[in-house]
Amino acid sequence: MYHQFFGLTSPPFRITPDTAAFYAGAEREALLNAVIYAINHGDGIIKVVGEVGSGKTMLTRMLEKQLPDSVTVIYLPNPSLPAEDLIFAIAHELKLSFDNGQGKTHVLQQVHAELLNLHAKQQRVVVFIDEAQCMPLDTLEELRLLSNLETETDKLLQLVLFGQPELDTHLSQPSVRQIRERIIHNFYLHPFSTDEVAEYLAFRLHKAGHNGPSLFSKGALKLLARYSRGLPRKLSILADKSLLAAYADQSTKVQNRHVHTAHRDDSLRAANSRSLAKALSVVLSVAALAGLTWLLSSYWPALENRVASTWAEPQAQLSVEPSPA
């Protein structure tokens, strides 16, 4: 809507992970290269931690794009896989054929054979586990066992865990101590600083066709840094709303008031989402109570009669027993 007004050729702040809009600043490119290096050397398990909206999904897309053809990437987007299903998911991604009735041991043998075959062809296999903080502890332990698949010199399966800070808490459990000790590389996606916020916005606007002076005032940039907490996804949403507010105001530069408007709108949307969730919870509770009430009203009279008759039988027997002589 506002693109032509600001001289843009495309939307600047889409939140879908478009690798053409990858921002290499704020140590993002250095982190990307470090993960690629760790994967190519195949030593132990790699862990990448970042807050919600910090750019983990973009990083996985960039890794898939920049890793050499000699690396086969298996992407597991569902972290809630039960431990017994993990090997089947990996076999499926390796395009192995197996019957649903085949047991885990047989499929593990197939996977092992395929990994050895790929290793002989100088092909490395790496598994990306997204939202790893949600993975059950027994599935994490299963991952550790799979990481034992190796030759005398190389790991056959490289593991990269992507997760929110809760992943560190998850891995602190005593039951997964062994997998924690296998993690050789720990990387963190840190939020943008105020200067990095300005650089990120300028970069995204340039990608969208803007070549003039900054569209954001210094005050607006500080507010965007504060409200977004330096997280790229939140920043992109607020920047988009701020540009829309400036367009509605027919202002060629985003001012503080436009960012405040964007922040209020975003906060209201979040509040509405929480209110909706609370309302749904209340509705479900009322429905459950209504169901219980109907159940009791339907079956209580019969149950009450049954209890009364059961109680009356021994009482009747007691009343007809003769008195002892």
With bands split at pLDDT 50, 70 and 90, how would you rate the model's confidence at 325?
A: very low
The pLDDT value recorded for residue 265 is 92
Most confident of the following: 172-186, 204-218, 259-273: 204-218
pLDDT-based confidence at 277, cuts 50/70/90? very low
pLDDT band at 2, cuts 50/70/90? confident
pLDDT at 268 over 70: yes
* Mean of pLDDT over the chain: 86
Domain architecture of the chain: domains with CATH: 27-189 (3.40.50.300), 192-309 (1.10.8)
Residue 304, pLDDT > 90, answer: no
Condensed to tens digits (0 to 9), the pLDDT of residues 12-60 reads 999 999 999 999 999 999 999 999 999 988 878 999 999 999 999 999 9
| Confidence (pLDDT) at 144 | 87
| Partner residues linked to 163 by β-bridges | 49
What share of the chain in percent tops pLDDT 70?
Answer: 82
pLDDT of residue 323: 44
pLDDT at residue 263 greater than cutoff 80: yes
